Amino acid sequence: MTADTSFGPNAAMADLMEFQRQTEALSSVSERLVWDQETMMPRGAAEQRSEELAAMEAVLHERRTDPRIGEWLDAADPETPREERILALIARDFARASAIPADLATEIARQTSLAQGIWAAARANDAPQDFLPTLDHVVVLKQDEANALVAAGFGGGDLYDALLDDYEPGATQAELAALFDTMRPRLVALREDILGAPDQPAALEGRFPQEMQLRLARACATAFGYDWNRGRMDMAVHPFSSGRWQDSRISTRVVEADPFNCIYSTIHEVGHSSYELGIDPDHAFTPLGRGVSMGVHESQSRIYENQMGRGRAFAGWLHQRMSDMMGGLSIDDPDAFYRSVNRVVPGYIRTEADEVQYNLHIMMRFDLERDLIAGRLAVDDLPEAWNARFLKDFGVAVDRPANGMLQDVHWSVGLFGYFPTYALGNVYAGCLNQAMRAAVPELDESLARGEADPGVEWLRENLQRHGGLYEPRPLIEQATGAPVSPEPLLTYLEEKFGAIYGL
């Protein structure tokens, strides 16, 4: 790639863009260190890696708050809407970074790197007491960050909103709470109807070896257009994707009794990674060269995983591939297999939750983390609060900490404000699916052949290629031609699961 020289004679703009290019490159290097930590790093290197990430954050924070950025922004004279958008994003990042003291930013990077390893060990040992002191430290650091941001005018005076803005610019907890309050009654009613239905789908039974699952996961990633020349797949405790431009990687995990865990985690992460790989190459090494928000990012992972991946058409193809690999399955009928893929059952784990209950998992986490940041909930009381809320929302008592408050990596690495973007992403995905189905009527025929290309290409053209060019909601509304609403998602869920369960 070569430096973007499309900014004409404006020296301030050119200098700013060259400086930003180097910052973006260093940020990508830091992100790669995190990927390595999650997938390949020796466990004994945790302390060293925390120092490396802290050092990188110190360098990045110094660059992001360099006084010359303010001078360049004042002097730059944008000539196109694209240049105006780039300047707006740099200005927003500059103001946000400048609000956070350098020593605080460095300490957050150091402690969250250490916390990830402590969380993973506590999860493996079902030992929340080993993690809670570390989590308490992380929460205090994030509260300090939020206070610094609020003092600089972010979040409208609200600590949680100041953190949320980093993941979904412009969103507020009040807006999201109102959205979730609208969605919850219909989701709960649908779940109750489903669980009370007389005809319940059978579970797929058997032992599915790791090697077979990984081969199948690669086949599914390929079916959804994953570019193996610019990506790779590895194993991780918590599946994730990482990277952008010419290098975006995915990870998955294997449970030998549950192949759907691996398959759909993989398709989910392919959605994330394909978004980054689908951005216009001209946006690389600029603020436009990454997904515009986590809500939009989740819309891609969820529409790949659910509306396409868990649909009847692709499930039929998947059934045949799995049958061929295993020499037969406990469910030999494609329609019964489709129903099994979409079983609605009480369960502890968010990443394994069906489409009906998934958002209820998110709403619970959203409420708990708001209370943590506001100081209404002490970290030491989190396990009890989690268990009580889970029993209330799902009617099931948590059996062990690894299935409770230790199941997600997010809080250990400081991602407060991230969780609600999963549910918002589902809302966006519902809107996109409605528009995509109208524009690509042949999609199911293609998915039945194990080819998601028509849907992937529609998403790339209408959303992915833009990167950060537009704000999140305007981007979704431009792609769909309609206002953002939870109605398409809720209608899709009621129709799909109504048919599956004979409601």
3-state secondary structure of 195: helix
| Catalytic residue (choose from 269, 276, 355, 451) | 269
Q: Span 363-383, mean pLDDT?
A: 98
H helix runs in 307-452, sequence order: 312-326, 334-341, 355-374, 382-394, 420-439, 443-447
Q: Say yes or no to pLDDT of 466 above 60.
A: yes
Give the CA diameter of the chain.
72
Adjacent-strand bridge partners of 242: 249
Between helices 259-277 and 210-223, what is the axis angle to 10°? 40
Burial zone of 429 (CB within 10 Å; 0-12 exposed, 13-18 middle, 19+ buried)? buried
Q: Span 420-448, mean pLDDT?
A: 98
Contact in structure between 204 and 259 (CB atoms under 8 Å):
yes
Q: Say yes or no to pLDDT of 8 above 90.
A: no
Q: Say yes or no to pLDDT of 6 above 80.
A: no
Give the pLDDT score at 4: 46
Q: Label residue 493 by pLDDT band (50, 70, 90).
A: very high
Calpha distance 412→408 (Å, rounded): 8
Give CA separation, 333 vs 167, 313, 318, 422, 473, in Å.
42, 13, 12, 33, 41
Which token pair is 138? 């992380």
Phi then psi dihedrals of residue 127, to 5 deg: -130, 75
Which token pair is 103? 């020593």
Give the pLDDT score at 2: 42
Q: Say yes or no to pLDDT of 141 above 90.
A: yes
Contact in structure between 316 and 446 (CB atoms under 8 Å):
no
- 31 catalytic? Reply is no
Which token pair is 489? 């998602």
- Report pLDDT digits (tens) over 325-355: 999 999 999 999 999 999 999 999 998 899 9
Q: Which amino acid is at 223?
A: A
Tell me: is residue 466 an annotated ligand-binding position. no
Give the pLDDT score at 3: 42
269, 257, 252: which is closest to 215 by C-alpha? Answer: 252
Calpha distance 328→309 (Å, rounded): 21
Please provide the distance, in angstroms rounded to a whole number, between the alpha carbons at the two ends of the chain. Answer: 55
Q: Say yes or no to pLDDT of 5 above 50.
A: no
Burial zone of 113 (CB within 10 Å; 0-12 exposed, 13-18 middle, 19+ buried)? buried
Q: Say yes or no to pLDDT of 199 above 80.
A: yes
Q: Say yes or no to pLDDT of 9 above 90.
A: no
Calpha distance 419→164 (Å, rounded): 9
Q: Span 129-133, mean pLDDT?
A: 98
Q: In degrees, to the nearest 5, what angle opens at C-alpha 153 toward C-alphas 151 and 159?
A: 65
Tell me: is residue 445 an annotated ligand-binding position. no
Q: Span 293-309, mean pLDDT?
A: 98
DSSP 271-285: HHHHHHHTS-GGGTT
DSSP 476-491: HHHHHSS---SHHHHH
Contact in structure between 155 and 165 (CB atoms under 8 Å):
yes
Q: In degrees, to the nearest 5, what angle opens at C-alpha 435 toward C-alphas 429 and 439?
A: 135
Calpha distance 136→446 (Å, rounded): 49
Average per-residue pLDDT in the chain? Answer: 95
Q: Say yes or no to pLDDT of 113 above 50.
A: yes
DSSP 154-175: GGGG-HHHHHHTTTSTT--HHH
Give the pLDDT score at 277: 97
Burial zone of 103 (CB within 10 Å; 0-12 exposed, 13-18 middle, 19+ buried)? exposed
- Report pLDDT digits (tens) over 378-415: 999 999 999 999 999 999 999 999 999 999 999 999 99
Query: Any idea which residue has 């019964």 for tokens?
Result: 336
Calpha distance 64→70 (Å, rounded): 10
Q: In degrees, to the nearest 5, what angle opens at C-alpha 241 toward C-alphas 25 and 160?
A: 85
Contact in structure between 263 and 213 (CB atoms under 8 Å):
yes
Q: Label residue 1 by pLDDT band (50, 70, 90).
A: very low
Q: Say yes or no to pLDDT of 485 above 90.
A: yes
Q: Say yes or no to pLDDT of 365 above 50.
A: yes
Contact in structure between 405 and 128 (CB atoms under 8 Å):
yes
Calpha distance 124→50 (Å, rounded): 21
The bridge status of strand 233-235 relative to strand 241-244 is: unpaired
- Sign of dihedral through CA atoms 96, 102, 106, 111? negative
Calpha distance 137→58 (Å, rounded): 19
Tell me: is residue 268 an annotated ligand-binding position. yes
Contact in structure between 113 and 53 (CB atoms under 8 Å):
yes
Which token pair is 358? 């998934």
Q: Say yes or no to pLDDT of 229 above 80.
A: yes
HSE on the CB side for 22, CA within 13 Å?
12
Give the pLDDT score at 68: 96
CA 431 to chain centre: 18
Q: Which amino acid is at 62?
A: E
Q: Span 466-471, mean pLDDT?
A: 98
Phi then psi dihedrals of residue 361, to 5 deg: -60, -45
The bridge status of strand 241-244 relative to strand 247-252 is: antiparallel
Determine which helix (DSSP H) or strand (DSSP E) holds 249, and give its type and residue range.
strand 247-252
Which token pair is 292? 């515009």
